[in-house]
Structure 1
Amino acid sequence: MTDLRNYISQIKKIQGLKTVKTKVSTKYEIAGITAKMDGSHSILFENVKDSDFRVVTNLVGSRKKFAIAVGGNEKNIHERIVSAIKRAKKPKIISRGKFMENKSTDLSCLPVITHFEKESGPFITSSIVYVENPETKKQNSSFHRMMPIDKNHFSIRMVEGRHLHRCFVNAKEHGEDLRVAVTVGVHPAISIAGAYQDEWGKDEINIANSLLNGKLTLSKTPIHGLNVPSNAEIVMEGRILLDRVHPEWMVEMLQTYDHKRSQPVFELDNLYFRNNPIFHDILSGYSEHRLLMGMPIESKLNGELKKFYRQTQKVSMTNGGCNWLHVVVQIKKQKNSDPKKLIKKTFELHRSLKQVTIVDDDIDPNDATSVEYALATRFQADKDIVLFKKVRGSSLDPSSDQKKLQTAKMGIDATRSLSKRPEGFELAKIPKIDQLRLEKYFK
C-alpha cells in the first residue's frame, strides 16, 4: 500500500508510534508534545479540540523510520534514494481517488497547528503543491508552507527561482492566476520526493513512485485536472492569485525566525478529504523537518562524491549543522592533496553548505565526539583549513549577509598526514571487546 495509513501501521508494528487519546489543542500543545518526543516516536493525536480530523506528527523523525519510508534499512537509505532518482517512473492514473469521499469549501475545518509564540500565525507545514510546468506541460511537486488568512485563503511561501515560483511568474506575465493542487497527509515517500529539488521540467512524484516500487496511483482533481496521489488524506484545489499578497514570517529549519515577507495568496476552489481523515503536521526546525530536507541532499552527496573520488566511504549531514549547513565526509585517503580537492567539490554540489570536514575511515562521521577527536589529533589550523570568502550561501543562515546572500565557508582536513609516522594515529584496540557482555559480570 502507498498511503499514510499503511505507513502508520508499519511503524506501529515496530513500536515506533505513540497514540494520544487525551483531547489536545492545536495552539502550542501538539507542537510542545512533538518537540518533547523529537525523533523518538511518531505521534497520532486522536482527539483534537474543535476538529474532526486526527493529527499525526514526527513521521520520519529518525533514520530508522526514514528507512522504512523509502523501503530500505538504515544502511541502504542512500542507495534507495539514488536508485529511485535514476529510475523514476510515472505512476498509474486511476479514475477516482479516495480523497474524494468528502468535499467542502471551508478551510476552517482543518486542524492547522500553531507552533511557536512569535510566528505570524498557524501554518500547514506538510503541504505539497502540484503544478503544471508551462514549458514541458509536465507536473512538478514541492513543499510550501501555508498560513490561513480566512476560510478560503492562505498565504503561500515560495522561494524565488524555484520551480513553483517560476511557474507563478509565468502565469502572472500572462495575466493569469496559477492553478494548483495541494495535498496534506501522504505516504512519507511522497514527502521525501517532494523535498528533493529535481531539475527543471522533471516531476518528483515519479521518484516517489520508484521508492514505492511502482505501486503509487494518481487521480485527477475535478476542476483543474492536476494529478495528485489518489490515497491522499486531504486535497485542496485552487489558484495562486496573481495580484494579491499577504505578510507572514515563520520558523525555519535552523529553529530561527525568518524575516517578515509579503507572499502570494492561495484561493480555495474545493477541499476534499477522506473519511476519518489524518492531518500531517511537521514541526519546523526539529528532526522530521531536518531529515526531510537534508536526507535527499545527503543521498545526492554520497552518490556524486563517490563518483568524483572513489575512496569516499560515507557522507553525513550533521545534526549539529541542522542536516543542512555542515557535512562530514569519510574517506580512505590516497594523497595528502585529496581532501582539499574533495572540499571544493562538496561545496559545489550543495550551495547551502557552510562547513565541510574530511575524516579518515576509522572516524565515524555520525559521531560528533569521533569527529572532534579527529580535529584534536589530526588537524593543524595553519595548514588544514580552506576558506572561501564572500560566496553564495544559505538564505536560512542568520549570521550571513542576508541582503547579498553571501557567507564565508570553511573546509577542514581532519585526516592523518601520510608523511607522518602512521602508528602515531592508530586507534588502540582491545581484542574481543565486542564479544564481552557486561550483564555476565554485573548482576
Structure 2
Amino acid sequence: MAEKIKVTDLRSALELLKTVPGQLIETDEPVDPHAEISGVYRYVGAGGTVMRPTRIGPAMIFNNVKGHEDARVVIGLLASRERVGLLLGEKPERLGFLLNEAVQNPIQPVTVPNEKAKCQEVVHYVDEPGFDIRKLIPAPTNTEEDAGPYITTGMCYASDMETGESDVTIHRLCLQSKDEISMFFTPGARHLGVFREKAEKFGKPLPISISIGVDPAIEIGACFEPPTTPLGFNELSIAGALRNEPVELVQCLTIDEKAIANAEYVIEGELIPNTYVREDQNTNTGKAMPEFPGYTGEANPKVPLIKVKAVTHRKNPIMQSVIGPSEEHVNLVGIPTEASIIQMIERALPGRLLNVYAHSSGGGKYMAVLQFKKSQPSDEGRQRQAALLAFSAFSELKHVFIVDEDVDPFDSNDVLWAMNTRFQGDVDTIFIPGVRCHPLDPSQSPEYSPSIRDKGISCKTIFDCTVPYHLKDKFKRAKFMDVDPSRFAPKLFKK
C-alpha cells in the first residue's frame, strides 16, 4: 500500500507516512506555538544534538494550535534517516549515493499557470486591514529565550539581477513585525547572499519568495553548497531529478519572482537594500534560536530585512517547522554533505570509498565517517587523501573519522570500537590548524584559544581508525555463523 502513494508535496508525504506504523502521530491537544511545540517534540522525536533526554521518533502533527484555528503544525518530518529513505524511496544507508546521482542528472523546474497553483488558493495582501504575518503563519518559537517566532524550513527563492539565474536555500527567518522578516546569512555560504549583495550594490530591492511546507525532496536538495552546486546551479533541479519530474513553480502575485506552486504557504516580499535590524529587537534576550551544534545562537546585531508584500496559502494550511539542533537538521544538511563527499572522492579515488555518514553529533556538518577499502599495498595512505578531499568537498567539516570496510559507519559504537582497537593517538591523528570552518561552533574563537585568529577558524582533524594494509590479517573480526534469524524470531526479523 505504501509504495502506491506518490509524494509530490507535503500532504502526500504525510499520507505516505500514515501507511507506515510508527512514522507519524497526531494530537488534538491545544498547544502554544511559543516554545511548547518544540518542548513537546524534544521528547517525542527530536534527537540530534538536542540536550538529553531526547530520541529518534515519529513526525508529529499538532491539530489545535492556539491563535491559529485554521492551521496545523507538523514537525520532525525528516527527523529520522529511515523516514527520509521512505520519503525518497531509497535505503537509508544509500541516501548519499542517491543525492549524488541526482546532482549529476538535474531536471530544471517549470512554471505553471496561477490558476493551477495550490499555494494561491487563499491570498492576503499587505494593504488589507488587519494584515499581520504573525497571525497568518503559526511560526513556532523554539525556546522561551528566542528572538521571536522563526520560520525554519522556508524555501527562499530569488534570482541574480544580472544573469537571471535562480536558486533556493534555507535561512533563519525571524518574524519581526506585521510585515517584516529578518533574514540571517552565513557569510559567503549561500547563493542568495550573492544575489542580495549584488542587488544592494545597485541600490535595488531583491524580490524573494518563501515557500513553506513542500515536497521533502525540495528541502533536502536545497541544502547543497559549493563546490558541488556552484553559483548558477538551481538546486530545485536536484529535487526534479529525485522525483524524475520537474518541480512546478508559479509566478508570484506582487513581486517579479516565482514560488513553489504546491507549497502550503508562500510569503512574497523584497529584501530592502541597506536596511538592517537587530535580530532580537522585540525580546532583547541576546539570543536568536537553537542552532545545529546544540547551543542557542547569539542574536545578530545587524541582519537584512524583508518587507512582506503578500501571504498566500492553501486552504487549511499546514505549517512545517524544525528544531534547529534536531536530527531533522542532521538529515537536511548531512545527506547532501555525504553526496558532496562521495562525488569528490570518487572522482579522485574511484572505487575505494564504500560509504560516508555525516554524523548526528556534528549536526550533519562538523563530523563525517568515511568507510574506506584498501585493496592493495599502494592504497595505504590514500585513506588520508580521501579525508583531505572530504574537507575540500564541504568546507564546514571539522572532524573526519576513517574506518575499514568491516566497520559500520552509521553505528557509533562500531566506529568507537575501531578507534579503540585500530588507532594510536600519536600516530593516527592528523591536525590541520588555522582553517576556516563555521562560526556557530563556540570553540572556534580566539577566546577559546589564542592560536585561533578569528571566529570560525578551527583545527580540522583526521582520526585514521583503519588497519595498516600489511597488518590486515592480524585484525580480522570474529566470524559468526551466517543464519536466517527470521526462522527463530519472526516478529523481530520480518521478511
TM-score class, shorter: over 0.9
| Residue 91 of structure 2 is aligned to residue 98 of structure 1 | no
Amino acid at match of 1:140: D
Which residue of 137, 151, 159 corresponds with 1:132? 159
- Superposed, 1:351-370 pairs within 5 Å as 351-370=395-414
Distance in 1, matches of 2:384 and 2:110, equals 46
Q: Is contact 1:160-1:166 (8 Å) kept?
A: no
Aligned residue number for residue 431 of structure 1: 481
Amino acid at match of 2:65: V
Q: What SS does the aligned partner of 2:199 have? A: helix
Q: Is contact 2:211-2:263 (8 Å) kept?
A: yes
| Residue 245 of structure 2 is aligned to residue 214 of structure 1 | yes
Q: How big is each residue's C-alpha offset from its partner over 1:26-75, in whole Å with a ceiling of 9 and x where there is no partner?
A: 01211112211223111111111110211111011111221233333324
Q: How big is each residue's C-alpha offset from its partner over 1:127-161, in whole Å with a ceiling of 9 and x where there is no partner?
A: 11111112320211110121111111111112222
Greater CA drift, 273-282 or 100-109: 100-109
Q: What SS does the aligned partner of 1:276 have? A: coil
Amino acid at match of 1:279: M
Aligned residue number for residue 51 of structure 2: none
Aligned residue number for residue 44 of structure 2: 37
Distance in 2, matches of 1:146 and 1:323, equals 20
Which residue of 65, 87, 90 corresponds with 1:69? 87
Task: Give how far 1:219 is off.
Answer: 1.0
Q: How big is each residue's C-alpha offset from its partner over 1:95-150, in whole Å with a ceiling of 9 and x where there is no partner?
A: 12111111113312211101113221221111111111123202111101211111
Q: Is contact 1:185-1:232 (8 Å) kept?
A: yes
Q: How big is each residue's C-alpha offset from its partner over 1:77-97, in whole Å with a ceiling of 9 and x where there is no partner?
A: 223211221111222321121
Aligned residue number for residue 3 of structure 2: none
Q: Which runs of 4+ in 1 moved over 6 A?
A: none
Task: Give how far 1:433 is off.
Answer: 5.2
Q: How big is each residue's C-alpha offset from its partner over 1:223-269, in whole Å with a ceiling of 9 and x where there is no partner?
A: 22322221111011111111321212222111212223110111111
Amino acid at match of 2:92: E
Rate the CA distance shift 1:425–1:154 in 2: closer, same or farther, 3 A: same
Q: Is contact 1:70-1:81 (8 Å) kept?
A: no
Rate the CA distance shift 1:151–1:3 in 2: closer, same or farther, 3 A: same
Give the share of equivalent positions with the same residue, in percent. Answer: 28
TM-score by length of 2: 0.85
Distance in 1, matches of 2:192 and 2:365, equals 22
Q: Please give the root-mean-square deviation of Cα atoms over the aligned residues, in Å.
A: 1.8
Aligned residue number for residue 12 of structure 1: 18
Task: Give how far 1:438 is off.
Answer: 5.7
Aligned residue number for residue 83 of structure 1: 101
| Residue 266 of structure 2 is aligned to residue 203 of structure 1 | no
Greater CA drift, 325-334 or 428-437: 428-437
**Number of residue-to-residue matches in the alignment:** 439
| Residue 251 of structure 2 is aligned to residue 223 of structure 1 | no
Task: Give how far 1:379 is off.
Answer: 1.2
Amino acid at match of 1:410: T
Distance in 1, matches of 2:389 and 2:218, equals 29
Distance in 2, matches of 1:183 and 1:379, equals 47
Q: Is contact 2:108-2:246 (8 Å) kept?
A: no
| Residue 32 of structure 2 is aligned to residue 25 of structure 1 | yes
Rate the CA distance shift 1:436–1:89 in 2: closer, same or farther, 3 A: closer
Distance in 1, matches of 2:482 and 2:456, equals 52
Q: Is contact 1:128-1:142 (8 Å) kept?
A: yes
Aligned residue number for residue 142 of structure 2: 115
Distance in 2, matches of 1:346 and 1:175, equals 39
Q: Is contact 1:71-1:211 (8 Å) kept?
A: no
Give unpaired runs (5+ residues) of structure 1. none
Which residue of 136, 158, 171 corresponds with 2:199? 171
Rate the CA distance shift 1:167–1:216 in 2: closer, same or farther, 3 A: closer
Amino acid at match of 2:242: L
Amino acid at match of 1:206: S
Q: Is contact 1:318-1:326 (8 Å) kept?
A: yes
| Residue 346 of structure 2 is aligned to residue 296 of structure 1 | no
Q: What SS does the aligned partner of 2:360 have? A: coil
Distance in 2, matches of 1:364 and 1:411, equals 18
| Residue 297 of structure 2 is aligned to residue 258 of structure 1 | yes
Amino acid at match of 1:110: I
TM-score by length of 1: 0.94
